[in-house]
Amino acid sequence: MSRAFVKEDTGEGLEDLPDRPVSEHRNLVTATGLAAIEAEVERLNLAYAEAQTSADRAALQKVARDLRYWSQRQQSAEVMPVPTGTDAVQFGSSVTLLRSDGRRVTYRIVGEDEADPARGTISYVSPLARALIGKAHGDSVRMGATDAEIERIVSPLPTTLAD
């Protein structure tokens, strides 16, 4: 039989996936954030082994790319201490803001990889977090098109399981 009629999976047609961009900022994390990174690296190691077993080249490329990213983030992680005071906003603080329209919102300032504004966490490099850090109760910050007043600053209680 002519080789022209044999279909072989040579991997051709698969392009190398570009690496995920890594932030230029320091990789500050909470203890919970580091635990999440470690869990993701563990999950990806298992997924990589599974992709190798099944010889799924596309999955191998995707998982390898993600594993490179999260391994780098794990190595560069700098766990920040839990804030001890509530006099000023700092990394790890939860801040309740009273917006000019009367709505209250609360955000916790965390690392870039653990930020999820819809769940109440914002990255320490976000414009709002930058405006908040160092501010005290009663201070105002720009929040979008309006101002908001810092109504409350809370530091999480340190525990062995979470920060």
Q: Where are the alpha helices (DSSP H) in 19-94?
A: 31-54, 57-76
What's the pLDDT tens digit per position in 15-50?
678 888 889 999 999 999 999 999 999 999 999 999
Note the pTM of the prediction, 2 decimals.
0.81
Question: What are the pLDDT digits (tens) for 110-162?
Answer: 999 999 999 999 999 999 999 999 999 999 999 888 899 999 999 886 554 44
Q: Residue 103: pLDDT above 70?
A: yes
pLDDT band at 163 (very low <50, low <70, confident <90, very high): very low
Count of other CB atoms within 10 angstroms of residue 127? 13
Quick check: helix, strand or coil at residue 55?
coil
17, two tokens: 């996936």
How does DSSP assign 88-108, residue by residue? S--TT-EEEEEETTS-EEEEE
Model confidence at 11: pLDDT above 70: no
